Structures are given as structure tokens and as C-alpha cells.
Amino acid sequence: MTVEAGELGEPSESTTVVVIGAGPAGLTVANLLRRSGVDCVVLERRSREYVAQRQRAGIVETRAVRMFDSWGLADRALGGIPYDGILEIRVDGETHLVTDSDGSEGPQARLCPQQVLVQKLTAAYLDDGGDLRFEAADVSLHDLTGDRPTARYRTADGTLRTIACTFVAGCDGDHGVSRTAVPDGVLSAHAFDHGIGWLTVLADAPPPAHPLLAVSPQGFAAHFPRGPHSSRYYLQCPPDDDPGAWPDPRVWDALRTRLGDPALASGPITDRETFRLRSLVHDPMHYGRLFLVGDAAHIVSPMGGKGMNLALYDADVFARAVRSFVHDNDDTGLRTYSQRCLRRVWNDQEFSHWLTRTLHDAGDATDAGPFQRSLARARLDRLFTSPAAGGAFAELMTGLDPA
């Protein structure tokens, strides 16, 4: 990276890729570029402490584990607790085990909470000498369709800085600045509201034997391991319900009823919030020299655990494309980036939508009606009894499907 005096006297620097955002997408892009010998600077609005503790769920699917492995990063990037690939789907209290293993050789999926991934990717990047600037305020992007875009930001002490670059990786999530730097009318937004709310609860209570998804007449519920002594739970609720409407006794009663487990152990609840299930895709995923990566380009409803994995997929495709451009003067990967990522995005949106509808409609708490309910139950019956349907499900869960 070079440093020179800029106009107005502010420091002006130069690099190959400016990465906006240090979530899973930005940190993966940065680590992979560094391993490729490509210069980059990461600008993150928040502090390192804030980013490191931001709690979100996470299964790192088999494909993504193998992606990190192929870059020699699996041990340094992934933590969490072991996962045997078995998922329980409980219908009206009756257990059905499905596997997310497709029988292929190689490392398997990991239960790795997103903040563990973020902490480890941050440490790996900084240990390798990476340039990561926290508390970068007022980031703005300029000249994205020119040969030399610039990113401007303000440091914590108020100094204005400008970085010129060859490419910008917009990894700043759904509410970042990257996508808003694209003029109106260039991107098409395809949005879908599932009409479903979820209450999510974090508690110091024993984890289940397997990640558990439950269908019941009172609505959907789920129970996921978070650590040796902690769990995350989900309860279907009216969209935009107030978390205050869910005091502890109501939460535990609803979980015991919907999970069909009157003896479910409770524990102190440490976090509780509600959100709407929604899906969103922006097309195309680039504009000039700006490439949108992860949540900046798409939101997928949480059912199926694909949001973080799609971000990791985009990051890998983008880093490989830049590597080919920088080292081999080959722009094929950059030209096809959007098309390639969107194929997987829609593949995973379809899986997530299918699973969302199936597990909610099979209960009685949506407006689906008896016909949709019977269809959803037929889909579950097929999943539990047909080896081919089970295989297709496992392939989608692993992310090893051909999309």
C-alpha cells in the first residue's frame, strides 16, 4: 500500500481492494485476498469489541468448511462445538432424525456461532499482518465506474482519509453504505415477507442432543446447542410481536408444549428478541468496480441456516476472481461473479423458503389452511420415508449441491 499527500491535505492511500465491513463476508474476503497475495484494507464502522460479541446463530455448512480447508484456514477460522450431522425434526412430539451428511469424504459441517467465526477470522487476519481499521466513520464511495474508485472515511480522532483502489468489496450488510452508493434503478430488489414472526431466546440451559426443529399445533419451535451449557431457542409468534409479551414462564411453557417435552430444563434467559422472517435479493450483485458480498446483496430467512453460508460462498468466489485478475490478468471471474453467486443465492432461497413453509404450515398457527397443512405434512412424510428425498435434503443442507 502506498501513502501520499491528498487534496485538501488529508492523507491519501492506495490499495488493490477496499473491503467495507468486518462481518463474516468482509473478514473472509480479507483473509482469502491476503492468502492470495492481494493487498487490501478493511474499514469497519464498529469497534473490535462490538463486532466480536455480536451474537448470531451459525451452522457452517460442509461446503463452507471445505472451502476454508482448501485455503488452509479451517483450523484457524472455525471453532464451535462438534456436530455429527444429525438434525431432529419433531412432529407433534414424535422424533424423526434426518442427516445432513451426504456420505462424501472430507471435513463436515460445524456448529460455529457467527461471533466465534468473526473472532477467529479477525485474529487470523491481524496475525498475518492484515490492515483492519475499526471505528471508521462516515464511509463513502466514489468513482465506482471509473478505473480508480475511492473510499473516504473518518478515523476515531476525526481525521478524514481517502483510499484509492482497484475494487471495492461491499460487505457491510443490509444497512450499509455500499449498496446505497449504487444509483437508483441499477439494481432490482426482489423482496419477500413470509408473514411469520420469530421470538429468539438465548439461555444458560442444557443444549439438545441434536439441533431440533419442532412442528406442533401451537406453532413452530426450535432448540439449538450454543455451547456445553447454553442454548438458543426459537418460537413462532405473530409478526412484529413485542418481546415484552414473552416473560420467562410463557417462554418455557410454550417451548415445553411445542417441543413435546414437559421435562425440558429451563435456565436464566440472557437475551430475547423478535423479528420478521424476510428474504431479499439484489440483482446484479455488482456495479462498476463495486462487488456486493453477503447480506449487502441478499437476505435469506433463517430457516435452513444459509445466510452466513451464502456470505462465505460469495467471499470465496470474489477472492478467486480478484486473484485471477491480479495475477493472471483474467477478468472472467469478475465478469461472471454476479451470475455465479445469484445461482446459488436462488438455490438457497428456494431451500429456505421450502423449509420455512413446510415447518410452519404443518402446524396450525399460520393462515395456511387445511389444504396447505396437509401438503406440508405430506412433504415431511416423504422426507422421513424416502431415501431419495432424504438424500436431496442432505445435499441441500451440506451446500454440496451443484448450484
Closest contact distance (angstroms) between CB of 20 and ligand APR is 5
* Amino acid at site 2: T
Residue 361's region, left for phi above 0, alpha for psi from -120 to 50, else beta, is alpha
Sites for ligand APR among residues 16-75 (CB under 6 A)? 20-26, 43-46, 51, 56
- Decide: is 149 part of the binding site for ligand APR (CB under 6 A): no
| Identity of the residue, 203 or 285, whose beta carbon is nearer to ligand APR in the bound complex | 285
| Identity of the residue, 52 or 81, whose beta carbon is nearer to ligand APR in the bound complex | 52
Alpha helices in 54-92 (DSSP H): 62-70, 74-77
Candidate list 177, 213, 334, 380; residue touching ligand APR; CB under 6 A = 177
d(CA 251, CA 272): 10
> If we measure between CA atoms, which residue out of 331, 287, 289, 339 comes closest to residue 314?
339
Do 174 and 280 contact (CB within 8 A), yes or no? yes
- Decide: is 399 part of the binding site for ligand APR (CB under 6 A): no
| Identity of the residue, 252 or 291, whose beta carbon is nearer to ligand APR in the bound complex | 291
Count of CA atoms in the C-beta half-sphere (13 A) of 140: 8
- Decide: is 170 part of the binding site for ligand APR (CB under 6 A): no
Closest contact distance (angstroms) between CB of 294 and ligand APR is 2
Do 9 and 3 contact (CB within 8 A), yes or no? no
- Decide: is 176 part of the binding site for ligand APR (CB under 6 A): yes
| Identity of the residue, 219 or 294, whose beta carbon is nearer to ligand APR in the bound complex | 294
Do 286 and 338 contact (CB within 8 A), yes or no? yes
> If we measure between CA atoms, which residue out of 156, 143, 128, 200 comes closest to residue 50?
156
- Decide: is 308 part of the binding site for ligand APR (CB under 6 A): yes
- Decide: is 154 part of the binding site for ligand APR (CB under 6 A): no
List strand residue ranges (DSSP E) for 23-93, in order: 40-43, 59-60, 86-91
Do 8 and 297 contact (CB within 8 A), yes or no? no
Candidate list 295, 316, 348, 361; residue touching ligand APR; CB under 6 A = 295
Per-residue interface string for the shown chain with ligand APR, residues 108-147, x marking contact by CB under 6 A: ------x---------------------x--x--------
Count residues binding ligand APR (CB under 6 A): 26
Candidate list 67, 98, 171, 277; residue touching ligand APR; CB under 6 A = 171
Closest contact distance (angstroms) between CB of 296 and ligand APR is 6
Closest contact distance (angstroms) between CB of 34 and ligand APR is 17
d(CA 277, CA 196): 6
d(CA 349, CA 198): 18
| Identity of the residue, 215 or 321, whose beta carbon is nearer to ligand APR in the bound complex | 321
Q: Any idea how long the chain is?
A: 403
Three-state DSSP at 104 gives coil
Closest contact distance (angstroms) between CB of 188 and ligand APR is 19
Q: Which residues make Cβ contacts (< 8 Å) with residue 50, sequence separation at least 6?
A: none
Candidate list 13, 131, 172, 316; residue touching ligand APR; CB under 6 A = 172
| Identity of the residue, 32 or 264, whose beta carbon is nearer to ligand APR in the bound complex | 32
- Decide: is 377 part of the binding site for ligand APR (CB under 6 A): no
Residue 265's CB is within 10 A of a number of other CB atoms, namely: 10
Do 294 and 311 contact (CB within 8 A), yes or no? yes
Interaction site with ligand APR (CB under 6 A): 20-26, 43-46, 51, 56, 114, 136, 139, 171-173, 176-177, 294-295, 307-308, 311
